[in-house]
């Protein structure tokens, strides 16, 4: 039992060290694990006049409803808000106890504050969690958040809104909400460059047979799946960093797990 506890603490210390040393601003997204739940995420529909209300979004704003290139992040259109108030809203269903990634691109002029709000609700529309981003006087900015839905989650409400004076202008584009695969060993997969490395089987077994069988280990697993995807993608973009993480972090954990498998394994 003492060896098992030491092994859990060693794994947590190793991984916590990685999160401490890597830049806190890392938000590059990993490869998609699921489809985008947002309908008309780039405001490309309908085609034609930008004054048309974008499909699948509930608009509370004055004309024009959309703006044309070059005032877009990608494609031909972006959602546009101007003046003192206005919003676009879309509601999508979400699963319970599931990791999601939310992403949006926003832009605002000097007199505007653009606001992006994501609310997780239960079946009675009570708000369980709220995530919000805002900014003023900036070019296109990327907003990203990873989160885990509560066990009684039912849907997610995405609201794009503006505050400011009569000259305020805000733009929104490329909205994304996707489910992530909670069984991935994100950092180890990035370090080895494959999902089939035999070391990953050792780590999964350690997760299932050691970490998830203790309160401390279970809490660590939840935290890891919430925090590790953007860090893993940052690692995967650099061959030297993959080598460093693999040799100085992941390999020692795998070796320690193998060495003590007689204690915790079958």
Write out the H or E segment, with its range, that includes residue 110.
strand 99-121
Ranges 47-51, 106-110, 252-256: which has the least confidence: 47-51
Compute the half-sphere exposure of residue 202: CA atoms within 13 Å on the CB side of its CA.
18
- Could you tell me which residues are beta bridge partners of residue 131? 118
Of 143, 200, 145, give the one whose Cα is nearest residue 174.
143
User: Are 197 and 159 part of one and the same domain?
Assistant: no
Question: End of a domain among 145, 179, 213?
Answer: 179
CB atoms within 10 A of CB 239: 9
Q: Is residue 40 part of a domain?
A: no
Query: What is the model's pLDDT at position 99?
Result: 77
User: Are 162 and 207 part of one and the same domain?
Assistant: no
SS3 61: coil
User: From CA 15, how far away is CA 38, in angstroms rounded?
Assistant: 33
Q: Is residue 53 part of a domain?
A: no
- The CATH number that applies at residue 135 is 2.60.120.260
- How would you classify the pairing of strands 66-68 and 77-82? antiparallel
The total number of structural domains in the chain stands at 2
Q: What is the extent of the structural domain holding 157?
A: 58-179
Look at residue 10 and tell me whether its pLDDT is greater than 70: no
Q: Is residue 12 part of a domain?
A: yes
- Per-residue pLDDT tens over the stretch 64-102: 789 998 899 999 999 999 999 999 999 999 998 787 889
User: From CA 99, how far away is CA 103, in angstroms rounded?
Assistant: 14
- CA distances for 77 relative to 53, 102, 111, 156, 251, angstroms: 11, 20, 22, 24, 47
Q: Is residue 39 part of a domain?
A: no
User: Are 80 and 143 part of one and the same domain?
Assistant: yes
User: Are 11 and 118 part of one and the same domain?
Assistant: no
| Predicted structure pTM score | 0.64
Q: Is residue 257 part of a domain?
A: yes
Q: Is residue 42 part of a domain?
A: no
User: Are 23 and 62 part of one and the same domain?
Assistant: no
């Amino acid at each position: 039992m003492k060896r098992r506890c030491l092994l859990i603490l060693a794994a947590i210390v190793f991984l916590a060290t990685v999160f401490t040393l890597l830049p806190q601003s890392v938000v590059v997204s990993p490869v998609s694990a699921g489809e985008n739940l947002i309908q008309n995420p780039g405001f490309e529909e309908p085609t034609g006049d930008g004054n048309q209300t974008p499909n699948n979004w509930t608009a509370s704003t004055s004309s024009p409803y959309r703006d044309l290139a070059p005032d877009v992040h990608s494609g031909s259109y972006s959602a546009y808000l101007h003046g003192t108030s206005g919003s676009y809203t879309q509601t999508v269903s979400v699963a319970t106890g599931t990791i999601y990634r939310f992403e949006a691109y926003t832009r605002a002029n000097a007199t505007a504050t653009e606001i992006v709000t994501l609310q997780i609700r239960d079946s009675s529309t009570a708000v369980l969690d709220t995530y919000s981003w805002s900014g003023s006087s900036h070019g296109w900015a990327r907003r990203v958040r990873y989160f885990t839905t509560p066990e009684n989650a039912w849907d997610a409400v995405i609201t794009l809104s503006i505050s400011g004076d009569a000259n305020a202008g805000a733009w929104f584009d490329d909205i994304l909400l996707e489910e992530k695969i909670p069984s991935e060993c994100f950092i180890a997969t990035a370090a080895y460059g494959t999902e089939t490395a035999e070391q990953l089987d050792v780590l999964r077994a350690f997760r299932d047979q050691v970490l998830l069988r203790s309160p401390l280990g279970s809490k660590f697993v939840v935290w890891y799946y919430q925090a590790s995807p953007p860090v893993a993608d940052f690692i995967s973009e650099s061959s030297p960093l993959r080598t460093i993480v693999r040799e100085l972090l992941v390999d020692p954990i795998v070796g320690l797990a193998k060495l003590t498998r007689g204690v915790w394994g079958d």
